[in-house]
Each structure stands twice: as C-alpha cells, then as structure tokens.
C-alpha cells in the first residue's frame, strides 16, 4: 500500500509539473500573439470586420504562434508558395483581407462562421461545399472535404495520411491528417485558441 501511495504522489507531482509547464508555454505564445493586437485591429477595421479581432489573433496563434514573420501564413494564398512573406504587417494585411472575403462569401451562403475559419485553411471553395451539405462546419464534413476533394485535387489520390498528434485529432481518428488535404481540425483548433488567449491574457 505504501508503494502504491508513493507512486500516486509521484504521478500527481508529475502531472502538476506538466500542467504548469504547459501553462508557461501557452502564456509565452499568447504573449507573442497579442503583441500584434494593434496591427490586427487596424487591419480588421480596414477590411470591415472589426468584430473579428479576437478570431484573427486566434488564427495567428494557430498559424505561427506569433513567432514567424509570416504571422498568418499568407504566402501561399498570395504568391502560391510558402515562406515568401517576411514582414509581419504584410502577412496581417493579406491574411485579414482573405479572411474578410471568406466571411463575406460565407455570410452570403448562410453558413456558420466556423465554415469561414475552416475555409481560411482549405480555400473559399469549401464555403460552397458546406452550403450544399447543411450549412454548418463539422469535423466529419471537414474530413470528407479533405479526403474526397482537396487531397486528391492536390495529387494525393491514394488517401495517404501522415501523423498529426493534437488533442482534437487523437480523439477523432487516432492522430492523422490526409497528405495535401489541409487540416481538417483547423476550425476547432482556432476555436480552442480563442479560449486560450482569453484565459491567459490576464497574466500578461
């Protein structure tokens, strides 16, 4: 019994240390992201979506955690290849502009806002797909689009996958994404990031 008790104490201590370390990492990431809050606010205002400032910060957290010059990973949508943009302001300008267009088209389609967020990762064609399939983004619908449309369109005709270990993916499918199929969990990750930013801002 003493051994079991000691093991329980050790496991508890390890869990506590792990949680504290995770919190420390998240706090650092949030600190990096909110450094760009003023620039995000200005870009959101300019593109007519000021109410989505917190959402944009959550997208930055998902794309770069504020630790890359291309904060919103805008290079591919603008230049057709990665790592071209080397200026945070340029990345914000293009990223927010693309998101604003996604929100506009999504509102016209009558979908939920998370469809527009997922379309930031997949491209605007996803908005039409969701409209034709109920008007609400879900992981199941997102996976269908990734597997059946986006991935094959970009050359993965054999449904090849690769490991992707995040909380959302592990619980959904054991932890994988389809090669060339974007991130089927993107909207849920951004949603989670919004909460993380909200919870950890107080300590900054």
Q: Are 15 and 189 in contact (CB under 8 A)?
A: no
pTM over 0.85: yes
pLDDT tens profile 151-202: 999 999 999 999 999 888 998 999 999 999 999 999 999 999 999 999 888 7
Q: Report d(CA 164, CA 113) in Å as an integer.
A: 25
pLDDT digits (tens, 9 = 90+) for 48-82: 999 999 999 999 999 999 999 999 999 887 777 78
Q: Give 2-203's CATH code, choosing from 1.10.10.60, 2.160.10.10, 2.40.30.170, 1.10.530.10.
A: 1.10.530.10
C-alpha distances in angstroms, 36 versus 27, 39, 89, 155, 192? 15, 5, 9, 36, 19
């Amino acid at each position: 019994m003493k051994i079991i008790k000691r093991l329980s104490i050790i496991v508890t201590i390890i869990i506590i240390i792990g949680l504290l370390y995770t919190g420390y990492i998240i706090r650092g990431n949030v600190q990096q992201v909110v450094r760009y809050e003023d620039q995000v606010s200005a870009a959101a205002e300019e593109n007519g979506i000021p109410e989505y400032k917190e959402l944009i910060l959550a997208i930055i957290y998902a794309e770069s955690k504020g630790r890359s010059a291309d904060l919103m990973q805008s290079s591919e949508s603008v230049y057709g290849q990665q790592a071209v943009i080397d200026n945070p302001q340029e990345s914000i300008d293009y990223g927010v502009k693309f998101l604003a267009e996604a929100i506009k088209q999504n509102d016209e389609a009558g979908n939920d806002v998370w469809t527009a967020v997922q379309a930031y990762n997949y491209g605007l064609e996803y908005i039409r797909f969701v409209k034709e399939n109920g008007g609400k983004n879900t992981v199941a619908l997102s996976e269908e689009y990734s597997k059946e449309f986006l991935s094959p369109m970009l050359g993965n005709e054999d449904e090849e996958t690769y490991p992707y270990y995040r909380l959302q993916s592990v619980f959904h499918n054991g932890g994988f994404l389809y090669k060339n199929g974007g991130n089927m969990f993107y909207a849920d990750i951004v949603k989670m990031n919004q909460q993380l930013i909200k919870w950890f801002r107080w300590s900054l």
